Amino acid sequence: MGANYYRSALARVHHEGFAGHADACAPGILARLAPVRERGGLVLELGCGSGALTRHLVAAGHRVVATDASPAMVALAREAVPGAEAVRRLTLPDDPLPAADAVVSVGHVLSYLPDVPSVARALRAVAAAVRPGGVVAVDLLDRAYRAARAGKQPVAAFGGDWAVLIAFASPDPETYVRDIATFMRNADGTWRRDDERHVNVLVDAAEVSGRLAAEGLVDVEVARGFDERQVMEEGLVAIIGVRRHAVKTGRGFEPRAVTNSS
Ligand SMILES: C[S@@+](CC[C@H](N)C(=O)[O-])C[C@H]1O[C@@H](n2cnc3c(N)ncnc32)[C@H](O)[C@@H]1O
């Protein structure tokens, strides 16, 4: 399960070499979260990794509780983003989520869950955690990812004292696999190897976003990015929604949709 992904070697490789996706998501997410920041709301981040998005949120003035299943990632994020309110372990889909004014997650964290029912359970928990007027902004892998990546050859990347090799496979329409070998240089110049197999579940994003709507979120969008400038890799989709605000009417408190412009 989640706790076995991103042991210390791969966590450091991700931290040093793979922040690009979170950097690209940050402007759109920050724009969507502007009303939350204005009212001093709390942002809950799921699967924060080593803090690649967290640091943008904190730099923009957000109060952030950043969470991840991997102890190695949590340790890196604590060091990298000391301005977060808290950085702690939280493993989806069953750990309880604290109430928040926004729930964000980038880097297809939900796709690490073992199957579609687990993704649905996690999304129900996300929808329940977000307070009235709050925002949900997450990305995950749609089933289209499989065709988009068909035939993708293995890739290699190198850092100062590490190397990583990643091979790809999709054994069935709901599964995308990365076999990842990391090599870390020891003090004596030799290399130590660690292997991780990342098994991601591919979901029907339209169906999944419908579940958020069923849980009381409105203006639910499935998009190629968190704003109109971002075009994510095909099959990686952003799902965005807001929880209705309760407003006082003649008949008591009634739900009202809140958007960025309100
Ligand atoms: C591809 S990384 C993205 C990390 C970070 N959000 C970023 O953009 O750099 C996926 C993250 O999801 C976390 N993760 C995997 N399974 C999880 C689970 N069941 N619950 C919470 N986090 C999980 C991993 O530990 C990892 O940090």
173 inside domain: yes
For residues 261 and 102, the model is more confident at: 102
Atom of ligand 1 minimally distant from the CA of 90 = 21
The pLDDT mean for the chain works out to 93
pLDDT recorded at residue 244: 82
pLDDT of residue 231: 98
Residue 251, pLDDT score: 52
Residue 97 falls inside a structural domain:
yes
Question: Do 75 and 181 sit in the same domain of this protein?
Answer: no
> 153 is in which domain, residue-wise?
146-200
DSSP letters, 125-164, are: HHHHHEEEEEEEEEEEEBTHHHHHTTTPPPEEEE-SSEEE
Is the Cβ atom of 119 under 6 angstroms away from ligand 1? no
| Average pLDDT of span 250-255 | 46
What is the rounded average pLDDT of the residues 135-151? Answer: 98
Q: pLDDT grade, residue 4 (50/70/90)?
A: confident
Question: How many CB atoms within 10 Å of residue 245?
Answer: 17
Q: What is the pLDDT of residue 138?
A: 98
Residue 252 pLDDT exceeds 60: no
Provide the CATH number for the domain around residue 177: 2.20.25.110
Q: Ligand 1 center to residue 41 CA distance, Å?
A: 23
CB atoms within 10 A of CB 172: 8
105 CA distance to ligand 1 middle (Å) = 8
| Count of all residues that appear for the chain in the document | 262
Distance from C-alpha of 117 to C-alpha of 201, rounded to nearest angstrom = 10
Phi, psi of 81 (to 5 degrees): -130, 70
Total number of domains in the chain:
2
Ligand 1 proximity of 51 Cβ (cutoff 6 Å): no
Domain match, 177 and 214 both: no
State the pLDDT confidence band at 246, using cuts at 50, 70 and 90: low
